[in-house]
Amino acid sequence: VEYGNETLNRPLIHMTPTYGWMNDPNGLWYDSKEELWHVYYQYNPNDTVWGLPLYWGHATSKNLTTWTQHDVAIIPPANDSGAYSGSIVVDYNNTSGFFTESTDPAQRAVAIWTYNTPESETQYVSYSTDGGYTFTNYDQGNPVLDLNSTQFRDPKVFWHEESQKWILTVAKTQQFKIAIYSSTNLTTWTHESDFEREGYLGYQYECPGLVKLPLPKNDTTSTENVLSYSNGTLVSNNTVPAETDKWAFFISINPGSIQGGSSTQYFIGDFNGTHFVADYPNTNVIDLGKDYYAMQTFFNSPDGDVYSIGWASNWQYSAYVPTDPWRSSMSLVRKFSLEDFQANPETRILNIKSTPVIDYDVFNFGETFAYENETLNTNNTLHYDLAKNFDGLVEFNLTFTANSSAYGNHDFAGLDLFLRGDMNKNEYLRLGFGANAAAFYIDRGHTEVPFVSSNPFFTDKVSVNNQPSEYVTNEITKYKVYGIADRNILELYFNDGSQVSTNTYFFTGGNFIGEADIEVAADGVFEIEDFQIRQMTL
Ligand code: FRU
């Protein structure tokens, strides 16, 4: 490979536009006739920074791992305007009246999006009769929602089975409100309630989304749950029917998020068709990294599970990242599920667990390097030369224990996994664990790319408030992490996805990860239960 060429840092399985600028994922839906996943996105084809006119770009995938780009799908009506973020639903029963028998029910795609002009933000409806490639604006009725506001955007629609209605959530961004509307035909909307000023506010609310998730079996955290413990065994009290689902309400905040800049928070609670009520007022953050924003879930899926995508960047620095001729990628697709999660030794909470969706059939693999059940010492370092002629896609699993009785006399008992560039080993990623702090951090600051050292918002270290995967004894705790690095983005899944941290990184173009080392800074503290790493290529 040609060292030093930025065009070489394009991720392989994280979706990127061929050229131009991309931000939020939009209109995610699954076409069950073609068995095809559609992803649209905020797109400026004329430059590699955000700008008007702003379009909906379009890509599809059969396997959620490799992507095909298509022509723009939604075109803003004027040059100083934008087709801002929004969603797509499949109108199987033609409730809108837009379709005839000639459009298969599984392909009756209706898009609801924000039309941004210098004067206002209003909600527009468009529909597609060709399976989601081109859209016709509903000119007779647009806008379908107009509050005479310039800060009213990002409609996300879903079908609410219980009330047999379409539900739309949309942000009154600078009032910290998410408005909830209902409709029977996708064009006439009734205001039901506002979810107001909860959780983390930051500067503004954007990109809301409400989604139903099944409760984990034998859930012990829900207040209304009727399961209880008797003699140490979980028993069910059959007099009250147990709740089977909960609702997750997602709200993106930018700027001013917990990590700095942009991130997506969520609440767990109940939705009755008109109002969302959170079980507890606490905010959860769906991804603890710096690069995961404007998360949206898919309408429809083959197995009924909830699939999602986030924009893998941060408004703090997205316009300056060193990629060319495109800017930004999406996250991997993730499946969401609710889990009964040990937040600390005394309390269990409902937590959303993220599982990356990767189709391994599309890859060729390099050799798998593995290491098991060994205590690591300062004079015992693991070093692996990964296979050559691979191109920058690496995954690993690491499970280890830390012994607190042994690290007390060290200022910093660290374990480091280094992932080094093949051509220039001074460029590396470090996944560090500090036993004293009982926390991981990702260190993406060691590169020769000027942007990384010159942009202070591109935080070089990002820590993760993880939990042990197991309290083995009073003194020994176990930690577990899966990581996947794809040329300029690293996704880390702790404890099988209970916590996730997504961060972009930038090495000199073509300097793909080719070496892995594990080192420790203290003796007798760490035992590697399992470490595996391998290269993959398309
Ligand atoms: C979020 C956002 C949305 C808006 C879009 C414009 O990243 O600001 O609120 O619809 O980007 O591109």
CATH number at residue 181: 2.115.10.20
Q: Is residue 302 domain-shared with residue 443, that is, in the same domain?
A: no
Q: Is residue 323 domain-shared with residue 383, that is, in the same domain?
A: no
Distance CA 375, CA 279 (A): 43
Q: Is residue 385 domain-shared with residue 301, that is, in the same domain?
A: no
Q: Is residue 266 domain-shared with residue 319, that is, in the same domain?
A: yes
CATH for 520: 2.60.120.560
The tokens describing 352, both together, are 């959303």
Q: Is residue 201 domain-shared with residue 309, that is, in the same domain?
A: yes
Q: Which of 22, 24, 254 to mutate to test the pocket of ligand 1 (most atoms within 8 A of CB)?
A: 24
- Tell me whether strands 20-31 and 326-327 are parallel, antiparallel or unpaired: parallel
Which residues lie with the beta carbon below 6 Å from any ligand 1 atom? 23-24, 42, 54, 84-85, 114, 153-154, 206-207, 294
Closest CA to 114 of 72, 79, 156: 156
Q: Is residue 101 domain-shared with residue 195, that is, in the same domain?
A: yes
Q: Is residue 269 domain-shared with residue 395, that is, in the same domain?
A: no
| The predicted structure's pLDDT at residue 226 | 45
Which residues sit opposite 109 in a β-bridge?
90, 128
Q: Is residue 192 domain-shared with residue 142, that is, in the same domain?
A: yes
Indicate which residue's Cα is closest to atom 9 of ligand 1.
206
Is residue 76 a part of any domain in this protein? yes
| The predicted structure's pLDDT at residue 220 | 56
- Ligand 1 centroid, distance to 81 Cα (angstroms): 13
Distance CA 444, CA 466 (A): 19
Structure ipTM: 0.98
Distance CA 347, CA 342 (A): 6
Please state the atom number of ligand 1 nearest to the C-alpha of residue 154. Answer: 10
Q: Is residue 293 domain-shared with residue 248, that is, in the same domain?
A: yes
Is residue 1 a part of any domain in this protein? no
Closest CA to 503 of 299, 263, 290: 290
Domain region containing 38: 6-356
Last residue of a domain, one of 339, 356, 373: 356
Q: Which of 21, 22, 23 to mutate to test the pocket of ligand 1 (most atoms within 8 A of CB)?
A: 23
Please state the atom number of ligand 1 nearest to the C-alpha of residue 206. Answer: 9
Asked if 250 contacts 266 with a C-beta cutoff of 8 angstroms, the reply is yes
Distance CA 441, CA 434 (A): 8
Q: Is residue 307 domain-shared with residue 382, that is, in the same domain?
A: no
Q: Is residue 308 domain-shared with residue 415, that is, in the same domain?
A: no
Distance CA 332, CA 14 (A): 6
Active site residues: 24
- Ligand 1 centroid, distance to 64 Cα (angstroms): 24
- Ligand 1 centroid, distance to 85 Cα (angstroms): 6
Is residue 276 a part of any domain in this protein? yes
Asked if 102 contacts 111 with a C-beta cutoff of 8 angstroms, the reply is no
Closest CA to 437 of 460, 415, 417: 415
| The predicted structure's pLDDT at residue 224 | 46
Distance CA 310, CA 330 (A): 6
Is residue 313 a part of any domain in this protein? yes
Last residue of a domain, one of 336, 356, 376: 356
Q: How many domains does the chain have?
A: 2
Spatial CB neighbours of 106, under 8 Å, sequence gap ≥ 6: 31, 32, 33, 90, 92
- Ligand 1 centroid, distance to 112 Cα (angstroms): 14
For the chain (length 538 residues), average pLDDT per consecutive 10?
81 98 98 98 98 98 98 97 98 98 98 98 98 98 98 98 98 98 98 97 98 83 48 51 86 97 98 97 95 98 97 98 96 97 89 98 95 89 87 96 84 94 96 93 97 97 92 94 98 97 96 96 93 96
The tokens describing 196, both together, are 């107001």
Is residue 147 a part of any domain in this protein? yes
Spatial CB neighbours of 303, under 8 Å, sequence gap ≥ 6: none
- Ligand 1 centroid, distance to 84 Cα (angstroms): 6
Last residue of a domain, one of 340, 356, 372: 356
| DSSP annotation of 331 | P
Q: Is residue 202 domain-shared with residue 261, that is, in the same domain?
A: yes
Is residue 171 a part of any domain in this protein? yes
Q: Which of 26, 40, 42, 176 to mutate to test the pocket of ligand 1 (most atoms within 8 A of CB)?
A: 42
Asked if 3 contacts 508 with a C-beta cutoff of 8 angstroms, the reply is yes
